[in-house]
Amino acid sequence: MKSRRDFIQKLTVGAGILPMTFSFTPFEQQHQYIPDVQDGPVLKVAIMGLGSYGNRVAEAMKDSKRAKVTGVISGTPSKIKEWQSKYNIPDKNCYNYENFDAVKNNPDIDAVYIITPNALHHGQCLRVAAAGKHVICEKPMAINAKEGKEMVDACKKAGVHLLIGYRMHFEANTLEVIRLREAGEFGTIKFFQGLAGFKIGDPTQWRLNKELAGGGAMMDIGIYAINGSRYMVGEEPIWVTAQEVKTDPVKFKEGVDETITFQLGFPSGVVASCLSTYAISYLDKFFLVGDKGFAEMQPSTGYGPIKSWTNKGRLDLPHVTHQTTQMDQMAAIIFDGKKPKVPVDGEEGLKDMKIIDAIFEAVKSGDKVALKL
């Protein structure tokens, strides 16, 4: 297991053999969420970072109605050549990390999707914004809230969108659970649990390099539990406590977290209990419970299909490739002014960065840390 990408894909494939705690009769949904794609301008996107996830996004965009790969940015010439052949990208739309500021003068590129190591997002975002292009940035958006705020400010100043790659915000099962919660199906929400983890492999990879990753599991897989707790509960947390466990200090060096458990407190009194780890596999589960019912998702954030059910029965809405839906919906945000049910803008990403900063602070101090999002 080399990375989160491998983990999410393998867990999804094996989801059918996961033991289910409950057995239900089908639950007929009257208002199931089906992602809609309206006709409109096509978003022309340059992918920055041609690794495994960059490839996944590009493949998914083949089925997008409103987004298309039109450019590439990479430090590896051989990868650029491969992508040119695969996606019919002309030489004039190919850049490296030294000269990509020149996208400013390229009408074939509307937006740049940054899919590079976390620590590079900040500087690359500022440069793309300065070039007058919209920014789509993978999560976490930066390595701390200070950088995230500077990214938000730079994009606002440049008059361009900053969108974060929260693909789950457009996923049908996720949005259906949110709809059911808002409709009162679960009553007053009492508790949320978010589990996110896998056993990471290659100890030399960038995800275990503090200078490039900004941390360890929390900056990779843990952000799913953080973000998920917010959209599942439907509130913003006001405090956090956290505890770290490290069993392999050789692999997980200073500043690279192996396992962190954390608790988020919400204004209504709801508490979220979450786990982020690089030491335990098969952890991809959300559980939301109120005084009238519950919703459970397992896998909850994998590449799909997402498996979901409530106290009334299974949901398991039709699977659409997450990145395909994400890019179509982001085009609608940029061109049509569409407002998604769950935000994916820079401010949304900044809130998660503030929580991550507070989690690291709570780990060090052992104290409850107040949150002001």
| pLDDT exceeds 80 at position 6 | no
CATH code that applies to domain 4-27+168-317+344-370: 3.30.360.10
Alpha carbons 373 and 359: distance in angstroms, whole number? 14
Catalytic residue (choose from 44, 68, 133, 139): 139
State pLDDT tens for residues 53-88: 999 999 999 999 999 999 999 999 999 999 999 999
How would you label 223-247 residue by residue, b for 16+ Cβ within 10 Å and e otherwise?
bbbbbbbbbbbbbebebbbbebebe
Whether residue 199 contacts residue 1, with contact meaning beta carbons closer than 8 Å, is answered with: yes
Pick 135 or 24 by higher pLDDT: 135
State pLDDT tens for residues 224-272: 999 999 999 999 999 999 999 999 999 999 999 999 999 999 999 999 9
Alpha carbons 186 and 310: distance in angstroms, whole number? 9
Catalytic residue (choose from 33, 224, 231, 278): 224
What would the two tokens of residue 260 be?
A: 């962190």
139: annotated active-site residue: yes
| pLDDT exceeds 60 at position 331 | yes
Task: Output the DSSP codes for 277-329.
Answer: ESS-SSEEEEEEEESS-EEEESSSSSSS---EEETTEE--PPP--HHHHHHHH
Q: What's residue 19's pLDDT?
A: 37
| pLDDT exceeds 50 at position 24 | no
The rounded percent of the chain whose pLDDT value lies above 90 is 90
95: annotated active-site residue: no
Q: What is the mean pLDDT of residues 132-147?
A: 98
Q: What's residue 22's pLDDT?
A: 40
State pLDDT tens for residues 159-194: 999 999 999 999 999 999 999 999 999 999 999 999
CATH architecture type of domain 43-167? 3-Layer(aba) Sandwich (3.40)
Judged by DSSP in three states, 86 sits in helix
Domains of the chain by residue range? 4-27+168-317+344-370, 43-167
Q: What is the mean pLDDT of residues 340-346?
A: 98
Mean pLDDT (the chain, rounded): 93
Q: What's residue 11's pLDDT?
A: 52
